[in-house]
Amino acid sequence: MESQKMLILVLYTTLLCFLPTFSKSDTTSTTPNHLILFCSGYMPPEYAVHGSFSTKSDVFGYGVIVLEIISGRKNRGFHDPHNHLLNLLGHAWRLWIEERSLEFIDDLLDDTTNTSSEILRCINIGLLCVQQNPEDRPNMSSVVLMLNGGKLVSKPNQPGFYTGKANTTETGSSSKQEEVCSINEISISFMQAR
């Protein structure tokens, strides 16, 4: 029970760093009211690719931190030993859709039956925060309600920067193995003088 209280305390302390930094009337501006500084590993996909940000940009960084705290690993530099293409977010997502999220939890966290449901709830919230599409991410007030248990937690979609293969059970595709490499159909002609 003590580790559960500690986890909630750490998550709330982290939450204070990610409260919205935009004015209430400004939800999709490209001009910040302050200096934006995203560290590698916490930068949302829409900012990394297009340079755009919104109130949901901070939510992405918060979700990364939640998943880092629960796993005891950093997003930057993480390598899944079973799938080298996955970062920490992809690893959490893969375990989530395979219903093996308990494997994601750091060994130092107390994963007894009464706390594992709370930790799984936090993994779910973290995955909601790091979804690829900013419109799918909750706002920070919803995150607070979900952490308090006052709001139902929905099923997350694919996280940002996910580079793994699509899950065949969710996409409805056949169970045939996907090709990892492509076949290049370029021909080379050598010319010789007669």
pLDDT of residue 181: 40
pLDDT of residue 32: 47
Give the pLDDT of the chain (194 residues) as one tens digit per residue. 565 555 666 665 555 555 444 444 444 545 444 444 445 567 677 766 667 777 787 888 899 899 999 998 888 766 666 665 678 888 898 899 999 988 888 888 765 656 788 888 999 999 999 988 889 999 988 998 998 887 888 888 877 765 555 443 444 433 333 333 444 455 555 566 66
- Fill in the amino acid letter for 181: C
pLDDT of residue 133: 86
Q: What is the CATH number of domain 2-164?
A: 1.10.510.10
Domain ranges of the chain: 2-164
Q: What is the b/e burial string over 87-101, where b = at least 16 CB atoms within 10 angstroms of the residue's CB?
A: bbbbbbbbbbbeeeb
Q: How far apart are CA 98 and CA 167, in angstroms?
A: 9
Residue 134 burial (10 A CB sphere; 0-12, 13-18, 19+): buried
